[in-house]
A and B are shown apart, each in its own frame.
Chain A
Amino acid sequence: MRLPPKQGEWIDRNHPLRFRFEGRDYDGCAGDTIASALAANGVKVLGRSFKYHRPRGLMSVANHDVNAVMQWGGMPNVRADATPLVAGMDLTAVNTFGGVDKDKARILGWFSRFLPVGFYYKAFHSKRLFPLWEKMFRMTTGLGKVDFATPHLRTPKRYGFCDVLVIGAGTSGLSAALAAAEQGADVAIVDENAKPGGSTHGASELVARVVAHPRVRVITDTYAAGYYTDHWVPLIERGRMTKMRARAVVVASGGYEQPAVFRNNDLPGIMLASGAQRLIRRWSVKPAQRIVLLAANADAYLAAEDFLAAGIEIAAVVDLRDVVPEAQKSALAARRIPVHAGDCILEAIPTADGNSVASVRTKSGEITCDGVFVSVGWAPAAPLLYQAGTKMRYDDSVHQFVPEKLPDGAFACGRVNGIHTARSLDGERAGSAAAAHCGFGVDRAIFVPAETESPTHPWPIVAHPQGKNFLDFDEDLQVADLENAIQEGFDNIELMKRYSTVGMGPSQGKHSNMNALRVLARCTGSTPGEVGTTTARPFFHPVPMSHLAGRGFAPERRTPMHARHEAAGAVWMSAGVWQRPEYYAVSGQSRLDCIRGEADAVRNGVGLIDVGTLGKLEIRGPQAAEFLERVYISKYAGLKVGMTRYAVMCDESGVVIDDGVVARLAEDHFYFTTTTSGAALIYRELSRWNTIWKLDCGIVNLTGAMAAMNLAGPKAKAVLAGLTDVDLSLPYLAVREGMVCGVSARLMRVGFVGEWGVEIHVPFEHGAAVWDALMAAGKSAGIRPFGVEAQRLLRLEKGHIIIGQDTDGLTTPGEAALDWAVKLDKPFFVGQRSLQAIARKPRRQQLVGFMLPAEHTAEAPKECHLVIEDGEIAGRVTSIAWSPSLSRYIGLAYVRSDMATADRKFHIRLTGGTLVAARVAKTPFYDPENLRQKESA
């Protein structure tokens, strides 16, 4: 029922909103949450419990009401108590079978005696039947439904910075923010509620001062989801995540009011007093007409004033304490409201339909009511403190855990710090200390008086032979479930949690952990402090994946010739982060024809390939040669200026990890390449070595700064001749600097594809122009751009390996037929010691070239098909293709070393099991003397 309008309420009565819940229409107001609007309409049953499908209503109204979780269209698990009402919402309770009122699964409640703690471990495991049982379990489990039509939401992220971040804008947090700001700190204060103020519900003078302060940013409707190393706190608001880096953090996250445990304590109408207060103060909702107030602290009697002011009849106060201080109860006594000290609620009795509380039975008798408000104590809202690495201790004077040792730069105040009365002063203390920590002012070291009475009852739990005294509302656990788990040997806090699942539900134990550890302490004859808590992990509240994912960038790199390739019909493939043309499509031709056409151009005319994705590094300095000697397995000290040399890199275990070409431009100046996929990694690795070795040289990564292309084919020289001032009679493997198409360039005579060829490296911005000029000049010679596939074919004809394809995570240079490159007699190189040891051992496998019989036309093997010898695995194919130049299938394969002899016949097994005969063949397959790449046509 809605109360008359009042100052400071959060709703806008001029803005009615119509919405639907479980097929029925209701009206709420702007500013309502789903839960407050339903409560205003007198709807009590908002959901069904997870296991027994019992009717459940509101409990905390503080974003922990996991039993009031709803499906909103495609959105699962919407928390009714924390989600603003939106016009036209169509909501249903999650996980019911036939609606929240008629949930057929409520029958499970009848079977609860058959379903003791961990029952699913104790049955259903016959090997034959388990799959059937499992199907059934999977039907009944889970909360909301995901909607496959939900689009990929791209939620922005941003970074935030502040000196002091205050988490929680209640009394203590606001005081902390103010104190820190007044000392000069830049302060951000964040609160998950729509308005600051905490239990003052936004209506205090303190709120006004904080909001007005120029150095304070007040961020509402936003929760701090975690606390990571170095005060790194993600702030989650609707539609955005801010990653806040603070210099100090004040955790003022308050307390979770805790439920009392008695039979049927889960009936709709039974809620936390603070929850009822929220409904009244914020949304002007009267949650009940006549209540019993279950009390154990001063807070209960303060709340009673709110209830009376809202016109709620308090039938009685049932106080767990033997003695209720006069000052607390006098106002009620004056109104003739009975206060039963030393009493408790033994059980709540439901209405006939079971959907609400009808009365409670206490030690002194039965009292009819339609609501029970509970105020028996608090647990600190400490997950963020735990995540920060705070050491907590149990304080007997307040019956809660409080920080014992906070990490550097983290501060706590208010209820989370065990201060329930002098919250404002405690906030000031923490704010001042936090500002001082950041260098603003001095720590005022304010003294905060301790509590005189514990606000928390140490044992708000009442046994009942028939149970249904719920301790965990997410997981439907009763006291006996925990006692039984303990009896079964799960008698430490972590094991008890894992076996009983206490605290594992969506609210992560905010309302169950404290009572659970009390039960454990009592059963094992220890104290709560000895029992301790489980580890709190992120997140504080669950965070949508879209917030975490952000907008979802998939960065992609393109060479400067990208548009040229596109225009030429490139079919793209990704090579790490790069996009490369796999081949260029020609209309009317198959993929294979296109690839072979490109290869044919290189063999018989001229082709041009973009190799700008290779890693391109430069090293200079007196010890540059020494550095290269150490990181590559071959020798470079003696490399002549103006020459290049193939270069293979190993890791420390002697495994091949990369290859490229090293070019010496001057005594102290080298330019060298790495594989495309290795570029970033190798640069990082080399920088690491350089840091360790401290040689007198520097490495620069030019990968993005340089464009590169390889012009190859018998007509390549003629095409290039008119475009450069470099003397093209340069020998094979030479490097020259000169002009190409008016641009300064580095030219390397290479032979990867087996024809006369030159790799032309020019500054990135000139790449496209040089490409265009070469294509134009080659037109009459029939020049074709060629892609990665044609290159792979051409290099295979030459027997050149591709690192990563023809090697794997264990391949040594020797196995990959690179023995000739290994110079074990150098003083040192990375991997040398391993290679020396390996050299003394028999070789396990050897990469060899192979050919299929020329007449083989049936299905050919594929890469990674196995070599089979005497029924056992004896190797595998790493590369295979039909060679146009040889008119047969050729390939590379690992075989057992004893099989690596010329002409040795072996078998490759296809997927279907067919064995295909092959023979070891010498490489290069094509132009074995390498005449073509050395000579000019």
Chain B
Amino acid sequence: MPWRLLRFALAQKHPEPRMFTRHDELKSAYDVVIIGAGGHGLAAAYYLARDHGITNVCVLEKGYIGGGNTGRNTTIIRSNYLTPEGVKFYDESVRLWQDLSQDFDLNLFYSNRGHFTLAHTDAAMRTSRWRAEVNKHYGIESEVVGPDFVKKAAPMIDLSCGGHAPIMGGLYHAPGAVARHDAVAWGYGRGADMRGVEIHQRTEVTGIDVVGGKVTGVQTSRGRIATNKVLCAVAGSTPRILKMIDVRTPLYIHPLQAMVSEPVKPWLDPILVSGSLHIYISQSSRGELVMGASLDPYEVHSTRSTLDFPEGLSAHMLDMFPFLSNVKVMRQWAGMADMTPDFAPIMGKTPVEGFYLDAGWGTWGFKATPVCGKTMSWTVANDRNHELITGFTLDRFRDYALTGEKGAASVGH
């Protein structure tokens, strides 16, 4: 039992202050307004205050802290991407992740479990090799492995997948990890709050004032705020915000669903992803099996669940792990994934001066939370795109300079 828990036993009254100060009033002006108290918005607020000394900042959240995709995601963290831009960016994120619990003094359950992208076809093996080669080039642990290696890490797996999609091998990424998603938002939120940032929950942005191509203020459900800088970090709601300033992007919104089983005694250590079966699985520290699949195939701006999702996912899961037949699925849910044509994000400055965008995080943005906070706060503070995000700017669609992450991003998150 760690000593730091002792004070709880000794105290008369629960010796913990509020993590987030309650602010009853909005101020009439802020230096920076951040839309969205997901992980990304809060991380940007945290680094703005901590690294750039900008604390007259408010984060506006229409619901509650972490209630968007941050609190719905399956928390896979990895850096074995396909493009040099992606690999460098996510690698920096993984580096930040590793110290985050200590930085926050909050246990994020950052759990290094190892990550497999299983290949069932020649083509998937080729993509694995491509990724491994690019990853190693940038110093990231990543290698193509054979079926024996997979079997050793997950001895109970049916390598033949019921006989119709035998596993030929895959890509192994030792640093692959999971973390407790809500705690990430809370940790950034608390850290920002402690440094003077105001977080306003249940406050919806309804309009953005632009005069002569420059941001001058934000309209909210609780009144207007004057500001010259707005950072938009609203994932699945991005198109609605961009409509307010008439900026066009190729973003489209598809639902992404996930489900968990009842808790069972831990038996699965690594994170397993199968591109061919379109499924992935990890086991949480509560013993729940966290399972997901690919995007719903159509555009829908809603978080409804569908029945065919757990049906298809379970069918494929049992191909790989037939013995889960009696394990029960407890809950399913969905988030709205903001997808881009090249499976890379859209970050940085926009045609509207003072309006900064952090979007296009689709099915893969949780892992990027720390590095997004770092680079977006820098970009907002300096009014210049941080060098790590120059491959992700909105211009690339106009300029046909896409950053193709499809091969590494689609199911793998």
Contact = CB atoms under 8 A, between A and B. Distances in A.
Interface of A: 74-77, 95, 111, 113-116, 119-127, 130-131, 134, 137-139, 141-153, 155, 226, 228-229, 232, 234, 243, 387, 480, 483-484, 487-492, 494-495, 498-499, 506, 508, 537-539, 542-546, 548-550, 552, 554, 556, 573-574, 653-654, 804-805, 808-810, 834, 837-838, 841, 862-866, 873, 876, 909, 911
Contact of B84 (A77, A863, A873): A873
A864 B137 CA distance: 13
11 contacts: A111-B1, A120-B109, A122-B107, A143-B265, A146-B323, A147-B323, A243-B307, A491-B22, A805-B126, A810-B406, A863-B129
A124 B110 CA distance: 11
A77 B264 contact: yes
Interface in B295-329: 304-307, 310-311, 313-315, 317-319, 322-329
B93 to A, nearest CB: 17
Contacts of A488: 14, 16-19
A550 B285 CA distance: 29
Interface string B213-237: 0000000000000000000000000
Contact of B14 (A480, A494, A506, A654): A480
Contacts of B65: 495
Contacts of A484: 14, 16
B311 A810 contact: no
How many chain B residues sit at the interface, stated as a range, is: 35 or more
A358 B331 CA distance: 38
Interface in B212-270: 261-267
A123 B107 contact: yes
Contacts of A873: 84, 134, 137
Contacts of A492: 64, 201-202
A76 B5 CA distance: 33
Contact of A865 (B99, B127, B133, B162): B133
A396 to B, nearest CB: 23
B144 interface: yes
Nearest to B14: A484
Contacts of B207: none
B129 A537 contact: no
A162 B22 CA distance: 52
B98 A506 contact: no
Contacts, number: 285
B196 interface: no
A909 B134 CA distance: 11
B152 interface: no
Nearest to A117: B14
Point out which of A115, A554, A556 has the most chain B C-beta atoms below 10 A from its C-beta. Answer: A554
A506 B6 contact: no
Point out which of A111, A489, A552 has the most chain B C-beta atoms below 10 A from its C-beta. Answer: A489
Contact of B263 (A131, A141, A490, A862): A141
A863 B144 CA distance: 13
Interface in B95-128: 98-99, 101-102, 105-112, 121-123, 126-127
Given A114-B9, A810-B404, A841-B399, A876 B130 contact: yes
Point out which of B186, B264, B328 has the most chain A C-beta atoms below 10 A from its C-beta. Answer: B328
Contacts of B1: 111, 114
A130 B98 CA distance: 11
B5 A114 contact: yes
Contacts of A876: 130, 133
A544 B107 contact: no
Given A142-B263, A150-B323, A873-B134, A122 B4 contact: yes
A498 B9 contact: no
Contacts of A75: 326
A549 B317 contact: yes
B123 A805 contact: yes
Given A127-B98, A153-B325, A550-B315, A864 B127 contact: yes
Contacts of B64: 492, 494-495
B146 interface: no
Given A150-B324, A653-B400, 6 more contacts: A152-B322, A234-B307, A492-B201, A538-B332, A873-B137, A911-B133
B305 A146 contact: no
B126 A546 contact: no
B147 interface: no
A837 B137 CA distance: 32
A119 B5 contact: yes
A552 B137 CA distance: 41
A864 B307 contact: no
Given A151-B322, A537-B333, A556 B164 contact: yes
A730 to B, nearest CB: 35
Point out which of B84, B182, B399 has the most chain A C-beta atoms below 10 A from its C-beta. Answer: B182
Nearest to A233: B307
Point out which of A573, A805, A866 has the most chain B C-beta atoms below 10 A from its C-beta. Answer: A866
Interface in B121-173: 121-123, 126-127, 129-130, 132-134, 137, 144, 156, 162, 164-165
A539 to B, nearest CB: 6
Given A114-B5, A487-B18, A866-B134, A153 B310 contact: no
Contacts of A838: 400
A146 B267 contact: yes
Given A119-B8, A809-B404, A489 B19 contact: yes
Contacts of A862: 129
B342 interface: yes
Contacts of B341: 653
Contact of B326 (A74, A480, A554, A841): A74
B19 A226 contact: no
A508 B330 contact: yes
Point out which of B6, B98, B144, B330 has the most chain A C-beta atoms below 10 A from its C-beta. Answer: B330
